[in-house]
Structure 1
Amino acid sequence: MAFAVIPAPSIFAAVDRSYDRAVGINQSTLVANQGGMFAKIFPPSTSTAVIAGSDFVPSVETVTKLDPDVVIQWGDRGEGVTQPIETAGYPVIGLRYGTQEDLETWIRLFSEIAGKPDRGKELVQWHSELASLRSAVATQTGHRPRAMILSKTGEAFSTTSPTGYDGFQFPLVGADLVTKGLSSDSLQVSPEQIVAWDPEVIMLSGFDKSVPADVYADPRFANIAAVRDKRVYKTPLGAYRWQVPSMELPLMWQWMNRILYPNSKDGVLREKVRAAFDSLYGYRITDEEIDQVLRLDLNKDSADYDQFFR
């Protein structure tokens, strides 16, 4: 199978508990594989052939050379990303993005392809943890922290869509998403806009190299609440980036809720990570590797992050 969709290989690998069927991936997926736990769980993932980049336009030459049985591609981004594959004679499965229901459809679909329908049901059931989290958040009273996800490429800042998956996640975990009125197609934002929003919590994207120390050191952001209170955090990187639809999303929801509403150190999230890696990938993750997933090295100076220390 070849996967132009960025998070799809890690989801399929969790369903199949194997990486053996993947022959091609997106360039962004390769970067994540090489920088996170996927490399340790499935070493061949660090050298998989690339069939598409950030625009998802497939390299038909590479696809033809790999000769996959099927190509997993976006089904809602126009014929420009699907027709070249079909014209070359390869079947395409088109995925739709945007909701938790879409993600659960991917899981069920992949479980059918893998011939493991019961596995799909099991994994979808794990994602139903969002119902219990919703209930817990509903009982929280008082102030809801203003929060956002922030990306930086060169000197340009951008954020995530308030109407997409992040628009769903932030209320789920008890946050007030500061970008909810943003209508920009590019999702680029100026430093002045970030200052005007004055987020109390900033979560830094896992798709770039920005780190909390960069934000703390930027004089333009000195008066932002998140900077004053040291509440800037790099999002975790497990088998895949936690911030977007993936198999490890229930862990992301727990992490977000805990940095928004810090608790004393109790090891709960660490043990959830340990259990998840065993269940999803059949991998015994070490304490040092959990430190890596939670980005303890990058987040150690941020407020209340010691709740995740060993």
Structure 2
Amino acid sequence: MSSARPGRIAGASLLSLLALTTAGCGATPAASSEAPEATGEAITVTDQRGADVTLDAPAEHIASAVIPAPAIIAAVDGSWDRIAGINQSLLDANKLGIISRIFPESVETPVIAGRDFVPNMEQILSLSPDLVVQWGDMGADVIAPIEQAGLPVVGLEYGTQEDLETWLTLFGDAIGKPDRAAEIVEGMHASADEVAEKVAALDAPAPRGLSLSYTEEGMKASTGTDYAQYVFDLTGVENVAEDVAGQSAVVSPEQIIEWDPEFIVLSAFDPATPEEVMADPQLAGVSAIEDKRVYRAPLGVYRWQVPSAESPLFWNWIAALAYPGEYDVDLPALMTEQISHLYDYELTREDIDLVLRTDLNADSADYGAVAE
């Protein structure tokens, strides 16, 4: 799933997040005994369509046609226990990433929709969910059958930092853990401030960056309306494709040569590797190619390049690659802390290498400084 609209709200370093949560400096405490989960009171949430959705009690069985939602729900809940159904695309991603190690059940969760997001109502009804998560901006065809079946459904939009924080808040309310959700959001704000301050302190020229989908069908660049723009803005990077119309734009080798990006981030949704792109004769002469600064975006609990509970890690990954040897971060340590906090799982060295795709990025310049 690609992102859609630019975000303006700040986002997260776990070191700052943990400082907030342990010292009580501006963050909300963990869910209290008075949360709806404990009292059993009815809960009403307002989704991104503006519709009010009322639940008799905190949702215990959630079916989601929306691909990234379950991993974010699991971060708020600290478990996969409430996830009853998922999208086929998410199941495929789960089999590739560390989520299969954190929550083994995530690769056995029933599929309730495919890549077209059309709900499989027979499967959904068989799961008896008390909440269904669906796109709210893709038309009635994908959401009306769920409502007609009498099931509570929240309609979502996606693509910006604001959307991510809205999801966290909405899911926290829906499962009776609003304080936990608020804590994660506060941590994101603290981390974004930290990343921006560290970049500003470098007083360095803005590196030219390109977020690129590279497939047999062609190449597409992330433009100023993609989540990549938020990340590049936060990390002081010039998005060479910012002014191209559309969320993602088909680009030619000649255009990339003209832009001359200094580093390229490849989509985690595509099979292309840095080695393959760096060997493309059509891109010869591009600075990023000549300097071997081409990198495959990580796949953690979910793909880092789109808004997720792990987004603060992506911001730090981008900053470290944009300013090699200058931006100081121990990314493996930060990953270990954040995954432990969000998912109660201790990463191994093997896990870290899997997330960062050190196998694919090993020959790219300066990657050891990020991954080690």
TM-score (norm 2): 0.79
- Shift in Å, 1:81: 2.1
Distance in 2, matches of 1:262 and 1:200, equals 12
Contact 1:237 1:293 in 2 (8 A): yes
Equivalent position of 1:283 in the other structure: 345
**Does the alignment pair 1:220 with 2:282?**
yes
For residue 254 of structure 1, report the CA deviation from its aligned partner: 0.3
Q: Establish whether residue 243 from structure 1 lines up as the match of residue 305 from structure 2.
A: yes
What is the aligned residue count?
A: 310
- Of residues 130, 136, 142 in structure 2, which corresponds to 1:81? 142
Shift of the 178–42 alpha-carbon distance from structure 1 to 2, 3 Å rule, reads same
Equivalent of 2:263 in 176, 195, 201: 201
| Equivalent of 2:244 in 182, 186, 191 | 182
Residues 64 and 31 of structure 1: CA distance in aligned 2, closer, same or farther (over 3 Å):
same
Among residues 50, 59, 81, which one is paired with 1:20 in the alignment? 81
Equivalent residue for 1:259?
A: 321
Shift of the 29–38 alpha-carbon distance from structure 1 to 2, 3 Å rule, reads: same
Contact 2:298 2:355 in 1 (8 A): yes
Offset of residue 243 of structure 1: 0.7
Moved more, 252-261 or 171-180: 171-180
CA contact (8 A) 1:236 1:295 kept: yes
Deviation at 1:160, TM superposition (A): 2.6
Aligned to 2:224: 162
Unmatched segments (≥5 aa) in structure 2:
1-61
Q: Corresponding residue for 1:296?
A: 358
Post-superposition CA distance 1:264-294 (Å, at most 9, x none): 7977111000101110100011112111111
Aligned counterpart, 2:128: 67
Q: Deviations over 1:205-238 (max 9, x none)?
A: 1111111011011111111111000000011111
262-271 vs 61-70, which moves further: 262-271
Name whichever of 69-78 and 299-308 sits farther off: 69-78
Gaps in structure 1 of 5+ consecutive residues = none
In structure 2, what is the equivalent of residue 211 of structure 1? 273
Contact 2:268 2:298 in 1 (8 A): yes
1:263 to partner: Cα distance: 2.0
Shift of 1:116: 1.4
Q: Select 1:55's aligned residue among 98, 116, 119.
A: 116
Aligned partner of 1:32 in structure 2 is: 93
SS in 1 for 2:365: coil
RMSD: 1.9
Give the partner amino acid of 2:222.
T
Distance 1:162 1:53, change over 3 A: farther
Alignment map for 1:94-173 (pairs within 5 Å):
94-128=155-189, 129-173=191-235
> Of residues 317, 327, 333 in structure 2, which corresponds to 1:271?
333
Structure 2: distance between partners of 1:227 and 1:250: 27
Equivalents in 2 of 1:131, 1:266: separation in Å? 15
1:204, 1:235 within 8 Å by CA — same for their partners in 2? yes
1:93 counterpart = 2:174: no
Q: How far apart, CA to CA, are the structure 2 residues paired with 1:278 and 1:72?
A: 26
Aligned to 1:46: 107
Given the two structures, how large is their TM-score scaled by the length of structure 1? 0.94
Range moving further from structure 2, 8-17 or 106-115 = 106-115
- Report if aligned partners of 2:213, 2:221 keep a CA contact under 8 Å in 1: yes
Per the TM alignment, residue 77 of structure 1 is displaced from its structure 2 partner at its CA by 2.5
- The answer to whether structure 1 residue 307 and structure 2 residue 369 are counterparts is yes
**Local SS of the residue matching 2:272:** coil
CA contact (8 A) 1:231 1:302 kept: yes
* Equivalent-residue separation in structure 2 for 1:112 and 1:287 (angstroms): 35
For the residues of structure 2 that align with 1:83 and 1:244, how far apart are their CA atoms? 27
For 2:329 and 2:280, locate their aligned partners in 1 and report how far apart those are by CA, in whole Å.
33
How far apart are residue 161 of structure 1 and its match? 4.0
- The separation in 2 between residues aligned to 1:274 and 1:185, in whole angstroms, is 33
Larger CA deviation: 250-259 vs 56-65: 56-65
Question: Which residue of 2 is the match for residue 10 of structure 1?
Answer: 71
Kindly indicate whether the alpha-carbon contact (under 8 Å) linking 1:134 and 1:172 is maintained by their aligned counterparts in 2: yes
Instruction: Answer with 1 or 2: which has the greater Rg.
Output: 2
Structure 1 residue 190: Cα displacement: 2.7
Structure 1 residue identity aligned to 2:359: D
Separation in 2, partners of 1:59, 1:156: 32
* Partner deviation per Cα, 1:107-146 (whole Å, 9 max, x = no partner): 1111112211221121112211112222233344342111
Q: Which amino acid aligns with 2:287?
A: A
